[in-house]
Structures are given as C-alpha cells and as structure tokens.
Amino acid sequence: MSHSGSDRVVSSKLAPYLYAFILDYLPQDLQNTSELVSSHLAFGLMALTPTWTDSEGLNALKSVISRRVPQWPNGLRDYQLENIPRVLSGENLLLFAATGEGKSSMYIIPLLVHMEIRSNPHLYPAFVVRERPVAVVVTPTKGLATSIIQECNDFGLQGLSYCHEKITEYRLKKDDLASLICDCKMWQLICVDLNNIDFDGIEIGLPSTDPSNDEFTSVDGVSGTAGSVSEPGKEENEGV
C-alpha cells in the first residue's frame, strides 16, 4: 500500500497493527524470515512518522502560530504555509519575495516552532526539535540587519548584528564574541553584514564537529536576505 500527499501518513494509533499488516502481504515462505520482516517493518514505521510537509505537520505549524504569534489572527499566507514546512524539513530553498511580503517569516517562524515545541513537547509528541536553535541571516547592509533584529524582538527573539562595531565592542570588554555565539544561548538570530566584515569572520557559522552540541546553524542552515534597507515594521504580515 502506498500513500501520497497528506494521505501518506497513517495515524500513529495504528502502529500496533502494522506488524500483522506487513505479514499479511508477505509471501508465506518468507514470513518467518526475520531480517526481511524487520526491513519491511522499518519501512512501514517510516510511513507512520509525521513530517512537516504532511497534514499533521501543517496542523502543528498552525498551532504554533496561534500560540506564539497572536498578532497574526489569520495565520500564515499561502506561500508561507507552503514553504516554511520545507524549511523545517531541512530542504534547500531559494525564495523570491518583494518587500512587505513577510519573507523574514522564513527564519523567524522556524525559530518560534523550535522554541514552542521545546517548551511544550507534550503538545507536539511526534516532532523533535533543537534544544538551542539559531538562524543565520546574511544581509547586504548593517541597516537592514538592525531592522531585522528589531523585528525579531517583536516576536520575543534575541538577535545580534555581527559587524565590526559589535566585534570591537566585545573585544574592548575582553569577551570572546565568537564563543558566545557558538554557545547558542544568548541569541536566536545572527545577522552577518558582508559589507562590513571580512569573510574570515564567518568561520563562526560552521557547524560544530562535536555531535553532542547543537549546530550553530541548527534551524535551517544559513538564510539569506537581499534588498534595500527597510523601515522597522515594513515586513510584518499585514492582513494575515
């Protein structure tokens, strides 16, 4: 039996019956072959695991929005609802959106999803998230980075603009800014302004080689944004 789209994920309540279901469809002379049965069972269990792009994942995303983003009473726009699950699934995504269309939701909402599920795992038992999610956003100007961080503050997120001024500030305080960033504790979003920083400084964005640590780019890898400097609030979801 095969499933496609939103129908391909079977309710996890059916899991106890899966083994018998698989046996029924195996040839009689193979039903006692434990390795083959186990491989079929593993394949079937994969079908029982919900993903962000199926109906259970979409419902979980909508629940997070209603709980974490009350300022969006109508929820996500269609293109956001289509693409944010792909971001959460770890897909590589190139998205073009005009100023004011809410493209910043592509990294803000995944952060909120991770934080909501981490805080209330009992409400989303089928989904596993990072303990300390961080998104990296590459901006063409420092002004745009400032605007993005201000917008993130409206969602309860803490952001940092990784620029020459900030690096100098932490050096004067004798604080290791790179280590603080890689600890993934103080900021959920890091804006990197490539016009004001040497490329060598981007080393801090590489994932940790220690599997026990959260990767620095643990939410969606590196997100990019381009465009002119926008005023604070210009990219909020008007009418959603």
Q: What is the mean pLDDT of residues 37-59?
A: 71
Assign a CATH topology to domain 55-224.
Answer: Rossmann fold (3.40.50)
- pLDDT-derived band at 3 (thresholds 50, 70, 90) equals very low
Other CB atoms within a 10 A radius of the CB of residue 221 amount to 16
For residue 35, is pLDDT > 70?
A: no
pLDDT digits (tens, 9 = 90+) for 66-87: 999 999 999 999 999 999 999 9
Let me know how many helices (H) and strands (E) the chain has, helices first: 8, 4
Q: Where are the domains of the chain?
A: 5-48, 55-224
Query: Ranked by mean pLDDT, which of 17-21, 99-103, 200-204 comes out on top?
Result: 99-103
pLDDT of residue 226: 37
pTM comes to 0.67
